Structure 1
Amino acid sequence: MTTQYGSQYGQGYGSYSGTGFHDEERGPRRHRLPAGLRAPFEARSWKELAYVLLSLPISITLFCWAVTMVSLGAGLLVTFLGIPVLAGALAGCRGFGALERVRARGLLGLEVGEPEPLVLKGRGPLAWTGAVLKSGASWRALLYAGLQFPWAVFSFVVAMVLWPMGWSLLTYPLWYWIFPMWAGQSGIQLYGDEHHQIFLDNPFEITATALAGLVITLATPWILRALTTVDRVLVHGLLGPSQLSARVVELESDRGVVVDTAAADLRRIERDLHDGAQARLVALAMDLGLAKEKLTEDPQAAARMVDEAHGEVKTALQELRDLARGIHPAVLTDRGLDAALSSVASRCTVPVQVDVDLAERPAAAIEGIAYFTVCELLQNISKHSRAGSASVDVWRVEDRLMLQVMDDGVGGADVSAGSGLAGLAERLDAVDGILVVDSPAGGPTRVTAELPWRR
């Protein structure tokens, strides 16, 4: 019975691994097997095993380098030589950090950016030494050398115990015959003393051993995944860019967006003035000059020209008012978002319901961004949505100002399509805002914006 069970189990398992698994890799049957059963065969599990196995020699080398060089540098601090030795120790740790980022990218699929570069204030060895010692990335790499070594030893021991044990116990029905034939005993000795010995040699024990091996084999990839999760945290937290430097990069990018947006707005204002009010005022000046010349010769014609000039003045004033409203509307400054958005909604081509629930006003800059965000969204509704109605809701959640513009139009709006929504999302991102667009084909469209309150 034992031999039959082992043969059937081995054949069934081999049949799957020899055909079914590889067929799944090539065809649409890839994910028919549950993830728990696929894990021992997936490339990810073997890559994580390789990462754990490589971690031990690398961590030993890195730890020895760090301890030796830092101890030597600390001992030589009584002389000038200790400072460059410490700098060399930190530079070596940074080099190992670059290797670890590459290894994590290749075997764990972890993308970690480069840490902040050295800030050299001058040239020569002294400037380089000072930059290395002042760099936070250097000291984080040294901390990684100290923390990763004991964890690598622990992970290596766990992996080398569980992985071979699981496969050897799982395949025990296939090779247990070696013991009675070559070892002079009936099976694996589980316990033994002078009076009593226990061997795994009957069908039930062999089956139980194989089932225990199956459990260990299926569980080991997930244990390795948990172990390498700690490695991911260490690499990302200690060998990548710091949160401060990442924030600086983000702020520099946002500042570029703000500068570009301000420059574009200035060009728009200049163009509107040049092509609109300025051109109209130039024509008005010419008309008034002609009217002055005709005043004595043909008073009636001069009166008609003055009357036409008066109409041109009214038009120019209206254009200037519209331009000023586009820069910053007076109603927003005087009465806040509720009145300003109601005024914008009244000019929309579709009926718009406005609901502003704010107990107090946010910062003026945030209020202006919220106003122009709603203006642009309502313009999109007028031009593209073919909607029958729309709504604008404004409210506050803790320290965030929330905007939501909805319409019952045709939908299909997409931020990634490079439309005006993409520029609007960049403007909001520049002030730590968020733009979320939910616009399935056929509608409705819901655009939600979130801005900091910033009183």
Structure 2
Amino acid sequence: MTAGQQVQVRPDQPWPRPAKAILYMISTFVLRLVQFVLIVTGIAVGVSTAVVWIGFPILLGTTGFIRWSGDLERRWIGSRLGTPLPPAERLPLAGLSLTQRWQRRLTDPTTWRDLLYLLITFPLACAELPIALASIVLLPMAIWVVPWIGWMHGQLALTMLGPNRTKRLEQKAERLQASRARGVDAAEAERRRIERDLHDGAQQRLVAVAMSLGRAKAKFDHDPDSVRELIDEAHLDAKLAVSELRDLARGIYPAVLGDRGLDAALSAQAAKSPIHVDVTVDVEPRPPAAVETTAYFIVGETLTNIAKHAGATEARVKVWRTDSLVVVEITDNGHGGAEIKPGGGLAGLADRAATIDGVITVVSPMGGPTVIRADLPCEW
């Protein structure tokens, strides 16, 4: 990944960037006008002149233009709106005569899906163009309205130009399988961390307590002063062991999160950060515990990374809920250039989100700002 790219853990549809969405709406209007006129004219003329055979080459050319336009649209949707669309899966044409190739194109469901999409998007472009032009001077519209329209347009393209339902279900199954595998790896890494912390921390403290009490027992009858010192030492080690166990338990599931929810838990995290952090949380109704825990640790690990590596002076944490998602967005004013690298902190965030089939998106151009977004589903 290069700095500034959007990185997604799985091929779900991201939120389009305003500038690219505006450029897409403006630049495609003329193209859609040309496509609509040529397609409607080609079909009308081809059908009306088919009785004298002139219409067949016209219909053949129109069909080829529809397929070419559909493929062009798939590429533009991916580059401008950030919705990844695979190349169209079409019926093979190799080894067929010209007539057979045309018949094959007419019986290919993808051709008809391309045609329907191109006919629908022309009136949509007529409505989108004024909004795109107005958003050039109206910043709120550019920030909030245009990305939403771009998202809806991408959803339409994904439905009509993307893989069919069976293929999408197969891809979802493969994605879930990969997510579960990454979740198992993340859980195993967490188990090893807990085991290591117990061995190096509380376990050693408790061993020291047992040794001190054993020595005190041996000296109990003839050296009461030493016994008192050993008991004091055992008492101190026991308190340290309790403190370390409490910290370990907090690392597994913080009590404030279970008792008071994400707002209080994230505010407590922000208060401990060495830089100023604004926190806004609106997740009613309360999401499942697994989602809350994932969001909590994503924010905590991100704020830690910002304090260590970003060179930022302030950050903003915004968490909100839609019908099916909890969205976590962390923004900082650091120097940017964040990258997802194997074994790195951002890769760890991706693995943690994958345990519940979540998506991590990173936008971090050189010079900043950096935006890390997690889309966490509330249903599985």
Instruction: Output the TM-score relative to the length of structure 2.
Output: 0.56
The amino acid across from 2:373 in the alignment is: T
Local SS of the residue matching 2:337: coil
Shift of 1:110: 4.3
Write the distance in 2 (CA, Å) between the matches of 1:339 and 1:246: 38
Counterpart in 2 of 1:321? 246
Q: Which amino acid aligns with 1:413?
A: A
Q: Quick one: structure 1 residues 256 and 442, their matched pair in 2 at CA, closer, same or farther if it must change by over 3 Å?
A: same
- Per-residue CA distance 1:311-337 (angstroms, 9 max, x = gap): 111111111011101111111111100
Q: How do 1:339-358 and structure 2 match up within 5 A?
A: 339-358=264-283
Cα distance in structure 1, aligned partners of 2:105 and 2:244? 75
**Among candidates 252, 267, 280, match of residue 205 of structure 2:** 280
Q: Could you tell me whether the CA contact under 8 Å between 2:256 and 2:265 is conserved in 1? A: yes
State whether residues 360 and 373 of structure 2, in contact with CA within 8 Å, keep that contact through their aligned partners in structure 1: yes
Of residues 143, 152, 166, the one that matches 2:101 is 152
CA change 1:155–1:327 in 2 (3 A) is same
Query: Are 1:294 and 2:219 matched, yes or no?
Result: yes
Whole-Å Cα distance in 1 between the matches of residues 101 and 282 of structure 2? Answer: 55
Q: Structure 1 residues 361, 237: closer, same or farther in 2, change over 3 A?
A: closer
Cα distance in 1 for partners of 2:203, 2:105 equals 77
1:289-331 CA distances to partner (integer Å, 9 max, x unpaired)? 1122222222122112211211111111111011101111111
Change (3 A) 1:289 1:151: farther
1:266-297 CA distance string (max 9 Å, x none) = 11111111111011111111011112222222
Q: Distance in 2 between matches of 1:156 and 1:453?
A: 42
| 1:382 CA displacement | 2.3
How far does residue 441 in structure 1 lie from its aligned partner after superposition?
A: 2.1
SS of match in other structure, 1:410: coil
2:221 and 2:294 map into 1 onto residues whose CA distance is 55
* 1:150/1:451 CA distance change after superposition, 3 Å: farther
How many residues align structurally? 244
Q: SS of the residue aligned with 1:297?
A: coil
Computing the radius of gyration from Cα coordinates, the structure with the larger value is 1
Shift of 1:150: 8.3
2:88 touches 2:161 (CA, 8 Å); kept in 1? no
Contact 1:428 1:434 in 2 (8 A): yes
Counterpart pick for 2:191 among 263, 266, 281: 266
Cα distance change on mapping 1:298 and 1:151 into 2, 3 Å:
farther
| Structure 1 residue identity aligned to 2:336 | G
Code of the aligned partner of 2:331: M
Structure 2 letter corresponding to 1:284: V
Q: SS at the partner of 1:395?
A: strand
The verdict on how the C-alpha distance between 1:282 and 1:366 changes in structure 2, with shifts beyond 3 A counting, is same
Q: CA deviation at 1:416?
A: 4.7
Q: Distance in 2 between matches of 1:454 and 1:244?
A: 17
| Cross-structure match for 1:404 | 329
Question: By how many angstroms is 1:417 displaced?
Answer: 6.4
**Aligned counterparts of 2:268 and 2:169: Cα–Cα separation in 1:** 42
Equivalent residue of 1:440, what SS?
A: coil
**Paired residues for 1:6-21 under 5 Å:** none
| Code of the aligned partner of 1:153 | W
Say which of 318, 321, 344 aligns to 1:393. 318
**Cα RMSD for the two superposed structures:** 3.7
Report if the CA contact (8 A) 1:394-1:402 is conserved.
Answer: yes
Question: Given the superposition, is the C-alpha separation of residues 417 and 256 from structure 1 closer, same or farther in structure 2, using an over 3 Å criterion?
Answer: closer
**Cα pair 1:366 1:454 within 8 Å, conserved:** no
2:375 is the counterpart of 1:426: no
Classify the secondary structure of the residue corresponding to 1:450: strand
Match of 2:369 in 1: 444
Distance 1:352 1:325 in 2: 21
Give 3-state SS (helix, strand or coil) of 2:375's partner.
strand
Instruction: Please tell me whether residue 413 in structure 1 is matched to residue 362 in structure 2.
Output: no
- Percent identity of the aligned residues? 47
AA matched with 1:352? V
Measured after TM superposition, the shift of residue 447 of structure 1 is 1.3
Distance 1:351 1:237 in 2: 48
Partner of 1:242: 167
Look up the equivalent residue of 2:307 and give its one-letter code.
S
Alpha-carbon spacing, 1:407–1:289, altered in 2? closer, same or farther (3 Å) = same
Q: Which amino acid aligns with 1:297?
A: H
Mark the runs of 5 or more structure 1 residues left unpaired by the alignment. Answer: 1-34, 36-51, 54-108, 113-139, 158-231
Distance 1:379 1:323 in 2: 17
SS at match of 2:221: helix
Distance 1:371 1:150 in 2: 62
Residues 288, 405 of structure 1: alpha-carbon distance in 2 compared, 3 angstrom cutoff:
same
Give the superposition deviation at 1:418: 5.2
1:64 maps to which residue?
none
Task: Report the CA distance between 1:154 and its aligned residue.
Answer: 4.8
The 5 Å alignment of 1:172-251 reads 237=164, 242-251=167-176
Q: Is the contact made by 2:336 and 2:366 (CA closer than 8 Å) also made in structure 1?
A: yes
Contact 1:409 1:444 (8 Å CA) reproduced: yes
The equivalent of 1:16 in structure 2 is: none
Superimposed CA distance per residue, residues 40-86 of structure 1 (whole angstroms, 9 cap, x where no aligned partner): xxxxxxxxxxxx99xxxxxxxxxxxxxxxxxxxxxxxxxxxxxxxxx
Whether 1:454 aligns to 2:375 is no
Q: Which amino acid aligns with 1:333?
A: G
Q: Give runs of ≥4 in structure 1 deviating > 4 Å.
A: 109-112, 154-157
Query: In structure 2, which of residues 295, 298, 308 is the aligned counterpart of residue 370 of structure 1?
Result: 295
